[in-house]
Structure 1
Amino acid sequence: MEHTLTTATIELRHYGHDDLQQIRQTLLDVHADAYADEMEDEFNQRFPWFVDHWGGHPGFSCVIGYDEDEPVGFAYGAPATPGREWWREHVSQPPADSSTFSFSELMIRPKWRKTGTGERLHAALIGARPEALAVLLVDPDHPKVQALYERWGYEKVGNRQPFPDSPNFSVMLLQLHLATSGQNGDTA
């Protein structure tokens, strides 16, 4: 039976670096549900390392959505180290302000997909960022996900394979001052 949910009941809670130990298991549990059919993949098995890596950054920022007390999804990232904006290799003319927020993860549990929750989490995470740009990587084997980010204002600028066993991801950039005007009601 298909289950339809609304996002009116989804509460968004914000967390930072100091909260990682409190939220770590929640992130791992959401990931395990979201990727239940793909957990044999070695790259997916390294998710706890990614949580610790990003969460260890002092500027780590995370938003978790809850339906009552049940976590439904999350979005997280951290500011890029100034001068180490790896996305620069994909653009011919970097902007004057290249401060960047690295948008690392957006994950929604299957029961809450296509409810607008992904868009709400994304907007809550990047809405008040002081950086000029947001960057993310998208697996090109998921064209619907890439199209969703394009509807939210991201532009594909190249490809990057950060790890030997990772996909050759699409590199996508968003000018943050355009982020709120790019919201058009599409849902994730």
Structure 2
Amino acid sequence: MITRPHRRSALKVLHWSMVPLLVWFTLVTPDDVLPFGQAAFQFHSILALIFVTFCLLWTADYLRRGLASRPGPKLKGWARHAHQWLHKALIWGLFGVAITGFLLGLTSTTLLKAGGFLPIAPPLGLKEANDIIGQIHIYEFYLLALIAVIHATFHIWRHLRLRDNALRIMAPKALHRYL
């Protein structure tokens, strides 16, 4: 019999699977991989498809069930508001990155394929719109990365300052002894 993992367990896997992808796309752009050939660009594209799939899964989970985490009892005032704001900003930021990626494909002059096989959208050939959306996509992604850093810093602060075990909530059990 196959059982579904608990929501929190599934979100932990999703969360920690997205971290290296977020780091990768923060440090490596398509222009960086192009000099290494088509295979490197293809690899980058497949990673992007995986990342976007994760973004959409997380957004769908949020829309269906709301936030998985609640602020702990030790969070008061600004920290309580920041907790909810940071999580929602991350989820909507992930969704925004996926949408602007789709819009890049839609406004492109050629058919773009995610992972080299999945058509993103029918190309409308809107060069000016494509340039604008491309800039939005880039700035939006780096803003998302900044929010992720603030999110991580917030949870480290909670764990160290409030001693509320905030890091244990999302860390795999194998790492709990180090926290």
Answer yes or no: same fold by TM over 0.5: no
More helix by share: 2
* Structure label with greater radius of gyration: 2
User: Which TM class, normalised by the smaller chain length?
Assistant: under 0.3
TM-score (norm 2): 0.23
TM-score (norm 1): 0.23
